[in-house]
Structures are given as structure tokens and as C-alpha cells.
Amino acid sequence: MLQVSILRNDTENVKKRLAVKHFKQTELVDSIIALDDERKKLQAEFDNTQSKVNAASKEIGKLMAQAQKEAAEALKADVANWKSSLEPLKEQMAKVEKELNDSLVQLPNLPSTQVPEGKTPEDNVVVRQSDVAVNLPETAVPHWDLAKKYNLIDFELGNKITGSGFPVYTGNGARLQRALIQYFLDFNTEAGYKEVLPPFMVNAASAYATGQLPDKEGQMYYMPEDDFYMIPTSEVPVTNIYRDTILKEDEFPVKMTAYSPCFRREAGSYGKDVRGLNRLHQFEKVEIVQIAHPDKSYEALDEMVLHVERLLQALELPYRILRLCGGDMSFTSAITYDFEVYSAAQERWLEVSSVSNFESYQANRLKCRFKDESGKTQLVHTLNGSSLALPRIMACLLENNQQENGIRLPAALQRYFGKEMIQ
């Protein structure tokens, strides 16, 4: 959530930055400032009336002590009138405060000045790209055929048990999933990330704090009886570890990693994008999260991008890194880098990670702050990234490493999987 002070002090620039995200309701900025003016006016009136009540109460005591009963009674009548006006003021302040907050959450985060202008994925900027040459046998097939051939994943069984988008991993497929999860966690902890195992359900306050509510409620699975949401990513519970927290400067940076299943409704998905492992309702992912000093968050972002890049290099997968344009970014992000791996069998790029800096947008909702050297309380910056999401990684590992006699795994995975080949 954006701070009102930013909207007030840099109004025209805020509107220009919102336009980069193709946000049309820029008049909302002026409305928010007007609501904040009204809130301040009501607060001043409330404080002034309360001060008069406090001062008069003391004066009444003095008057009574001086036996000036008539003057004291007159002042008591004034106090009663003033007090009667306080409750309506409180009610009006609460109403305006709610309107202000409801308006603020409608504003997306401001994109960084590094974000390119553009509206669609075609406008994203390729930052780096590895060699994409993959030598496949003439008999090469996509991963859904390989999964069936080697008894790795049973999509039909998952459909029977639950529904489309809930595959059952079997035998070496389940083993490979476990190997990837362990490898990703080890890779992250060796880089200084503390491992946590969070809950896989969160309350509404947690979903609100990281920006899933009210923007993405339609994409989350919801249990109304308990008012819980199944997590769409472990970013939500992990970042909320620091909700309502004041950090010390020497605690920066906070670096955490977590494995979790992820649950997404993916409403409106269809066609080739949902074939096999390309898009699921339940999948596994390992996440990295950083809470950083505002002056250091872009250094942290660069570090996280390099970290995910090294992980893809270790997996020997062809990849590219995209800096997303304003129109393709999420509601809460200030800047995002997407990682895509090349599927030689499908002849297409598949997204496997997003690394984002939210600056203070999430922190304002989280009320996650720190005290600087002067003792002033400031908002932290939050960042997160996939490290990595498993379905498309597994799809590309199977497809790009298939041979006539099986699937050869990259060296980095062999000790986790226990052998070189899937046959």
C-alpha cells in the first residue's frame, strides 16, 4: 500500500508512474489526498475539543475549591456539550479512515524508474540469455509423453482423485520432485538463507498484508467456515513472519527460504498453456524472501537475480532473464525479473521464476519497520523470488535431457536423485 505522504508530496510524478502500469483511475490519487485532508481536519477538531474538555475539567476543580459553584456549573454544561460532540466526530473519523484505506488499496505499487514502458509480454526486455541449443533425438516428445513412458506422473489418476491440474507423481517422478526440493533448499541455505517451514493456510490479515487481498482473492482457494486461504506461494506466510515487527538496523538483511505446496485456481486458463505440467492448481515451489534496508534493496534484488541464475546454470537448462514492462507487472511489484527456460520439445519458453522488489508497498501493509540511527521509525523493503517452481523445471529437465535410452539428469542433481539416468 502506498503512503499518503508520497501521493501528497509528489502527486504528478505518482500519476506518471501509475500510467507506466497502465492504471487508468489516476483521479483516485486526488480523491485520496482530499480524504486525507478531511481526516486531518476531523482529527484537529477532535483534538481541539478534547483539549477544551481536559482544560475545563481542571478549571472546574479550581472553581469548586474557590466556592464558585455557579461558574463551575456553567463550565460543566459546556463540558457536557463538548463531550456530546466527540462521539459523532469519532464515528465520522472512522468512516473517513475506512474510505481512505479502501481507496489506498486500489492503487498498485509505483513501478521503479528502471521498469520499461509497455503493455504486453512482447514489450518485456531480455536482459540476458544463455545458449538455447539442445540436441534432441529424432524420437523426442514433450514431457507428458515422457511421464507416461517412464511412469513418472499420472495425470488421469490425479483427475480421478481431485480434478484437472492435480497430478500424481509416482516412482521416479516422486523421487525427482523430492530431489529437486532438497537441492533447491540446500542451494539456498548455503547462500545464507534461513530455512523455515510455514503453514500452508493463512488468515485474511496475512493475505492482505502481502497484497493477495483484495487484488487476487479470485485466484485463491478459500475456506469460509474457518476464514482461511490456501497459500498461492510461501511468500505469503514467510513474509508475514515479520508483520507488526520493528527491526534493528543490524538485523538486515533478513534472508529466508521455504518449501511449500502452492494452490492456485488459475481461472480462465486453457489450451496449450495448461497441457501436462505447464499450469497446475497444486504444485511445489521453493521460495526466497528478503527483508532489506531501503538503501540496500536494489543490491539485494541484483543478488537474488544472480542467485536464481546460478541455480539454472547448475541445472544446465537454457534460460533467459526478462525485465518486465509496466503493463506485465503484478499489482504489488515495483520491479520484476522473470526467468524462463526453453523447452526444446515444445519449442517454447516457460516461466519458472519471478524475482521482485516491492520496496515499501508490502511493508506498509505489514507494518514492518525499523529504527534508523537517529531513532526514527521507517518502513523496510521486501523482496521475494521463486527458487524455483518445480513443474516447468521438471518439464524442461525431462524434455531437454531425453535420450534414446532414457533421461540423463544434470550432474548437480545426480547425488540427490541417486543415479544418473531415469530409465
Binding-site positions read 233, 264-266, 287, 351-354, 384
**Which residues contribute to the annotated binding site for ATP?**
264-266, 351-354
**Which residues contribute to the annotated binding site for L-serine?**
233, 264, 287, 384
User: For 287, left (φ over 0), alpha (ψ -120 to 50), or beta?
Assistant: beta
User: For 279, left (φ over 0), alpha (ψ -120 to 50), or beta?
Assistant: beta
The Cα-based distances of 301 to 297, 307, 335, 384, 397 in angstroms read 6, 10, 9, 9, 27
Provide the CB-side half-sphere exposure for 234 (13 A, CA): 25
Instruction: Give the contacts of 223 (CB within 8 A, at least 6 positions apart).
Output: 201, 229, 230
Q: Can you tell me which residue has the cell 547448475? A: 314
Strand order in the sheet with 421-422: 402-403, 406-408, 421-422
Distance CA 74, CA 16 (A): 57
- Cβ atoms within 10 A of the Cβ of 47, count? 11
Distance CA 370, CA 358 (A): 16
Distance CA 115, CA 356 (A): 12
